[in-house]
């Protein structure tokens, strides 16, 4: 592969104080609705200059240095434009955590090279579940928008993962250490693994994200979560369409004050708390989460809480765990529509452990409390008919105050039965058939 060392970018200055072409010079809170963020989002500063990113126009050349040069030129008060008539190729891992008061307007297409050897050796490694990212975008007051496309060239990764499940597949969009920012509208396509990781970040709004990308071979596109939040707080995810093969949104350890609303999810594993308790000696907290107005189609779950038991367990060759500590609290799912979904609600503290007797003998070390499921309607798939939901705790000592009300969900045969174990059934306004 050929690479260039040219660092040139075209820079044009706007009149000082003129209106910026971008739309993020006011409060981000004005864009959030109908529910409001847990805490006000910080305002974005005015952008006063524009840099246009050059492109070789040839996918055999790496445009990473053009991109890095433009970002440095327009950092601290500018806007970087990826032009609509250009295609950009990235073959170098980019550390973009130095950004401050800058917009990235992506109008064209950005594609990451399919060099799996390079990316496994050079992508950025993070602490949770061997996660890696093509790049890491962070800093303060950063907005990324424009409706353009980021393409992860995922097919080569889907095929490689089928041969070796221990490879490190990069996440398409890494928001790492960002404090104050807006992401979207954007199109995300063919991520090798999760589409977005939000780690060690605060006060970020995702708005208008279009996610899609399936395998064209017999090898599935696996673990393609839409969002995973990790050690992050006051995050808003809204007004987006997600077509994927794993969690639509997942709240990983130490996520709090998360608002998710107005999503269309298709083919996913639901909107999930967890998985939690994977690592012994670590404390996983997820609290203060509101999920509102979601449509879920052709999925395994709608609302899901998944916790590892207190004993070593194996979900798959590349995913094992159990025995961690922590708590899940103040979680609300409200106004959920489902169509052809296996479970409307799934709560499990036996994630990764198929031996339920062993799971109950070594119950989870995490507590689940103050959870509310409200206003669910629609029809499940026939996979678990006649049951439409399952709330199974490994011990009544670690589950409390789990509520379900106005759950108008039917199985194909017309039933609305729930599997309930080690939980206070008086708080569940559903038909518990076992316990």
Cβ pair 47, 78 in contact under 8 A: yes
Give the list of residues 6+ apart from residue 337 with CB closer than 8 angstroms, or none. Answer: 294, 295, 296, 376, 377, 378
Q: Report CA torsion sign: 209, 79, 198, 30.
A: negative
Cα–Cα distance for residue pair 190/387, rounded to 1 Å: 34
Active site residue: 52, 233, 269, 372, which one? 269
* Helix, strand, or coil (residue 267): coil
Furthest-apart CA atoms within the chain: distance in Å: 71
Q: Name residue 62's beta-bridge partners.
A: 3
Residue 364, both tokens: 């989870």
Cβ pair 127, 88 in contact under 8 A: no
Length of the chain: 435
Cα–Cα distance for residue pair 401/398, rounded to 1 Å: 10
Cα–Cα distance for residue pair 200/126, rounded to 1 Å: 11
Q: Could you confirm whether 26 is annotated as catalytic?
A: no
Active-site residues, by number, are: 269
């Amino acid at each position: 592969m050929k690479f260039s060392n040219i660092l040139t970018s075209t820079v044009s200055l706007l009149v000082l104080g003129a209106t910026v072409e971008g739309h993020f010079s006011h409060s981000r809170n004005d864009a959030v609705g109908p529910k409001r963020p847990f805490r006000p989002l910080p305002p974005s500063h005015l952008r006063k200059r524009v840099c246009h990113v050059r492109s070789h126009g040839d996918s055999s050349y790496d445009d990473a240095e053009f991109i890095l040069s433009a970002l440095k030129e327009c950092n601290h008060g500018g806007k970087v434009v990826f032009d609509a008539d250009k295609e950009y190729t990235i073959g170098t891992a980019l550390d973009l955590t130095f950004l401050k008061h800058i917009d990235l307007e992506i109008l064209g297409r950005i594609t990451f090279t399919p060099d799996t050897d390079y990316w496994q050796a050079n992508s950025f490694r993070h602490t949770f579940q061997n996660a890696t990212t093509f790049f890491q975008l962070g800093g303060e007051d950063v907005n990324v928008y424009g409706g353009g496309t980021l393409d992860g060239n995922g097919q080569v990764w889907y095929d490689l993962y089928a041969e070796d499940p221990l490879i490190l597949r990069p996440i398409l969009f890494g928001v790492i250490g960002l404090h104050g920012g807006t992401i979207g509208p954007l199109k995300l396509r063919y991520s090798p693994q999760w589409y977005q990781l939000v780690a060690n970040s605060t006060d970020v709004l995702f708005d208008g994200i279009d996610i899609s990308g399936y395998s064209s071979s017999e090898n599935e596109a696996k673990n393609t979560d839409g969002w995973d939040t990790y050690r992050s707080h006051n995050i808003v995810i809204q007004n987006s369409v997600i077509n994927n093969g794993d969690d639509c949104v997942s709240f990983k350890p130490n996520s709090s004050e998360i608002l998710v609303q107005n999503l269309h999810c298709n083919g996913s594993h639901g909107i999930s708390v967890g998985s939690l308790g994977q690592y012994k000696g670590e404390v996983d907290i997820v609290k203060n989460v509101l999920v509102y107005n979601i449509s879920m189609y052709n999925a395994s779950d709608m609302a899901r809480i998944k916790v590892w038991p207190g004993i070593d367990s194996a979900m798959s060759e590349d995913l094992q765990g159990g025995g961690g500590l922590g708590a899940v609290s103040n979680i609300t799912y409200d106004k959920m529509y489902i169509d052809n979904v296996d479970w409307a609600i799934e709560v499990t503290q036996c994630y990764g452990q198929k031996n339920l007797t062993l799971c109950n003998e070594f119950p989870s070390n995490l507590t689940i409390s103050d959870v509310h499921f409200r206003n669910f309607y629609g029809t499940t798939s026939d996979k678990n008919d006649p049951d439409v939901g399952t709330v199974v705790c490994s011990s009544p000592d670690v589950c409390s105050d789990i509520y379900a009300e106005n759950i108008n969900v039917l199985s194909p045969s017309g039933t609305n039965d729930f599997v309930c174990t080690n939980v206070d059934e008086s708080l569940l306004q559903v038909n518990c058939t076992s316990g």
